Amino acid sequence: MPNLYYSLSERIFKKIDENRDQIAKLVSQLVQIPSITGQEGDAQEFIKEKLTEMGLKVETFEPNVNELKDHPSFFETASYKKFGYSKRPNVIGIWEEGNSGKTLILNGHIDVVPSGPKEEWRYDPWGGEISNGKIYGRGSGDMKGGIVAMIYAVKAIQELEIPINGKVLVESTIEEEDGGIGGALATLLRGYTGNFSINPEPSGLDFYVASAGVLYFKIRVKGRPAHAKEAHKGVNAIDKIWLIYKALKELNEERQRRIVFPPAEECEPDVKGHVTTLNIGMISGGDWPSTVPAWAEIMCRIGWPPGESIREIESQILDRLKEVSRRDPWLRENPPEYCTIGWRAEPSMVNTSDPFVSKLSDLAFKVTGRRPRFCGGTAGLDTRFFINDFNIPSVGYGPIAHNIHGINEFVELDSVIQVAKVIALAIVELLTE
């Protein structure tokens, strides 16, 4: 009975280490199914089979906009507009034993962003090549490595036949990259709630404790078209949008000088002074070179750390628009039109003194020998739905990944193993009390 010589956690570590090659292989296989946001179906089918093989009770559902549209966090995602929600299921594996009534949610998003120019990659972005302890490809880090870590955490506890007292939900959800409305939010609204949640986004073995507020918006102004030879009779809408462009730039600079967010700045020093950004991402206008433009518009994304609500952000933008319009006779008569487009997410932050957070930190320390730093707040995460809308403490804790959303994305296999170990310990600690 050599197992008697091992403590429970050593047995778990050993089991996960034994599965190292399978873990790498599963990340690689998942990378080979390109689940770009909107086209998650095949990868979800694969996950469903995997969870079923493990003996979990597996439930799937396609989001229904009618069930979502009255929720305050709802917005129509770009991928919903383009693809709808058909053949885009969320997959939930359920493992339940005992009657403690406690539920731990493990949630990861299956969708990935496009590969970008393939010729710039050293590896096939959809090849899942394993080399030198790294797994390459789009989604390897963000966040198929994390999904595999949570699957193998559950597998280890099962294979060791360690009894649990409670429920684990293993969730693979869609469209996080696009706002997560039909994914994590829909899954929570379907009733898959719990007491704690771990989201293995590639946090580099630190904790993502905060999610950024994100708002996409469009501003449109009209002009008065005229033939270019008598341009003086027209009003150039591009000239007018330029006034707004400058005002928003100023707003951004003022905000960047004023707003600080220590968790983000401590983890990523170069983000100092840029924890909030108003990005003017698209500009268009006019119809013909020899016509004075009759319209112009800009599309923007503003991101900001916890501390301000969407309503406060919008009032700052609208105040600037009013100020510009007050000074310009044309805009005074023809005020710019503002509307939101796509992403509309409140920021969120988990209560870092919640006992769940400190327990998870202790477990991470036990596995890695380093205490996770509290990071985040510059990108929108699905954790916000758990925290803001369902009051479930949720921490992003995942592997070390490089070049996510970029060229030659990869995840470090060792860190995937470490995350699996931490999650396995969390299952035992949280659900055997």
Instruction: List residues binding Zn ion (CB under 5 A).
Output: 142-143, 201
- Residue with token string 């594996």: 93
> Nearest approach, Cβ of 35 to Zn ion (angstroms)?
12
Cβ–Cβ under 8 Å, residues 165 and 101: no
Nearest residue (beta carbon) to Zn ion: 142
Q: What is the CA radius of gyration of the chain?
A: 24
Element (H, E) at 430: helix 413-431
> Nearest approach, Cβ of 228 to Zn ion (angstroms)?
48
> Nearest approach, Cβ of 60 to Zn ion (angstroms)?
21
| Paired tokens of 200 | 């293995």
Q: Which is nearer to Zn ion, 252 or 415 (CB)?
A: 415
Helix, strand or coil, per DSSP, at residue 95: strand
Cβ–Cβ under 8 Å, residues 184 and 382: yes
Q: Which is nearer to Zn ion, 143 or 395 (CB)?
A: 143
> Nearest approach, Cβ of 141 to Zn ion (angstroms)?
8
Q: Which is nearer to Zn ion, 38 or 285 (CB)?
A: 38
> Nearest approach, Cβ of 33 to Zn ion (angstroms)?
16
Q: Which residues contact residue 391 at a Cβ distance below 8 angstroms, ignoring those fewer than 6 apart?
A: none
d(CA 169, CA 430): 13
Q: Which is nearer to Zn ion, 141 or 223 (CB)?
A: 141
d(CA 180, CA 221): 31
- Residue with token string 């969120």: 348
Strand order in the sheet with 295-304: 277-285, 295-304, 213-222, 337-345
Q: Which is nearer to Zn ion, 142 or 265 (CB)?
A: 142
Type of residue numbered 270: D
Q: Which is nearer to Zn ion, 63 or 399 (CB)?
A: 399
> Nearest approach, Cβ of 325 to Zn ion (angstroms)?
39
Q: Which is nearer to Zn ion, 142 or 297 (CB)?
A: 142
d(CA 374, CA 396): 10
Element (H, E) at 213: strand 213-222
